[in-house]
Amino acid sequence: MTAKSQLIEIRWHGRGGQGAVTSAELVAQAAISEGKFAQAFPSFGPERRGAPVLAFVRVDNKEPIRIRAEITDPDVVVVLDPGLLTIVNVAAGLKKDGIVIINTKKPFADIEKSLKVKCKLAKLDATGIARETLGVPITNTTMVGALLKATDVVKLESVVEPLNNRFGRLAERNINAMKRAYQETELKE
């Protein structure tokens, strides 16, 4: 019996300069290295550093991806900046049984009030991990670790090579940040 094709759509919410686009690309590269089909792309216009941005990833374990539109009904939403919860409806269109993964120290009850939607949740202090591990509050690789803990989109090991290729001499710190985030991510059904 062959495995059924499964398309997973991930929407990343961040601010310019936080690495949402890089995160999307790293996950897509890892999926392709596992023999899956993937695409990653950003959505932004004339935004500046700090302005809200979106990035998208689609991964399918069996079929080529023919869709070329923004993701409006994601399976997974990743929020790099918790401040976006007050200005953007990050959970808009979230599929039934979808999951929202947020960079925050807040308790799950507070997150649920902010989202105004019932869904699975994952959270971690990605900013704290990034500051301690990388020396800067850029949360892209920490949020990749959180995504991998909350979903089975790709294996943790599969992201190591894309991280090495992208970050060169800084790769080891980014790999450590991703692994630490994977360990520290909290999940709530």
| Alpha-carbon gap, residue 187 to 60, rounded angstroms | 24
**Number of domain units in the chain:** 1
pLDDT for 40-60, tens place per residue?
999 866 556 677 889 999 999
Range of the domain at 14: 7-188
Residue 1 belongs to some domain of the structure: no
Tell me the per-residue pLDDT of 135-187, one tens digit each, with 9 for 90 and over: 999 999 999 999 999 999 999 999 999 999 999 999 999 999 999 999 999 99
DSSP states of 92-104: TTPPTT-EEEEE-
- The answer to the question of residue 36 being in a domain is yes
Amino acid 118 reads: K
Cβ neighbors of 56 (< 8 A, separation 6 or more) are 9, 10, 11, 12, 24, 39, 40, 41, 42, 43, 70, 71
| Tokens 């670790």, residue located | 145
CATH code for position 159: 3.40.920.10
- Three-state DSSP state, 187: strand
